[in-house]
Amino acid sequence: MINAFLKAIKQLKDQNIRKFFWISFISACFVFLILWILIGTLLEATRVVSIDWLEWLFDFLGGLTTIYFTWILFPPVISWIICYFISDIADVIEMQHYPNLQKSHAQSILSAHIIAIRNLGVLILLNIILLIFLIFGPLYPFIFYSVNGYILGREYFELIAQRRLDKNATKELYKLHRSELFIAGIVSSILLTLPLINLIAPIFIVAFMIHLLEEWQKYL
């Protein structure tokens, strides 16, 4: 696992990989720019109270809320966009490290879209539900990273594994290495919560899972 982790870090230096980060980053910025314009227009056009200073306060708080949710949702949105490029990213990594591999299963645009929307929805819904556990205080980070680690480890592994294995083989390999994938998922979830690092973390996770998969397949 450590070997796969180090390989994934080195992979981020590859220009062919970094271009996918910039595509995803610019696309996410565009998505949020449209969101800001829509919310700004709505706040400007909507009058909650007749008192000017109180109305200004509502608009100001609405703006702060928008900024807050932008900060929280930016990494999941980048992860969502990167889902569309997973096959391309994986092809670059495999060509460099595993040139003797056979061609992977082609993924349709519809399939990529469904997976991307599902992953985004799961991450957002899950983390909204997890807010309930804030009442547990110091235990909250352990609950947060454990649940997110489980989801991320499983989701990303299945995305990568199903490019080369059928569903049954993917499930069997997951069962054999579920503890390692849980740890890999926790590491991934921590990276996704670190400012700036979280912007490139989804690409790192893809590379990490590819290297893990290839290591484990040697022993099948």
Q: Can you give the pLDDT at residue 74? A: 66
pLDDT tens figures, 35-67: 777 766 766 666 666 676 676 777 777 777 777
- DSSP H stretches of helix in the chain: 2-11, 15-45, 52-82, 86-97, 109-130, 140-161, 167-176, 178-191, 197-217
pLDDT tens figures, 13-35: 888 887 887 887 787 777 777 77
- Please count the CA atoms within 13 angstroms of the CA of 183 that sit on its side-chain side: 8
Both tokens assigned to 63: 């703006």
Exposure of 67 by Cβ count < 10 A (0-12 exposed, 13-18 middle, 19+ buried)? exposed
Q: Can you give the pLDDT at residue 183? A: 92
Both tokens assigned to 135: 């009442």
pLDDT tens figures, 145-159: 888 788 888 888 888
Both tokens assigned to 43: 């706040």
pLDDT band at 170 (very low <50, low <70, confident <90, very high): confident
Both tokens assigned to 215: 């290591």
Instruction: Give the span between the Cα atoms of 23 and 173, in whole angstroms.
Output: 32
Cα→Cα distances 211→15, 28, 36, 69, Å: 19, 27, 38, 33
Contact present, 79 and 202 (Cβ < 8 Å) = yes
Residue type, 188: S
Instruction: Give the span between the Cα atoms of 129 and 125, in whole angstroms.
Output: 6
Instruction: Give the span between the Cα atoms of 186 and 190, in whole angstroms.
Output: 6
> With a threshold of 0.85, does the pTM exceed it?
no
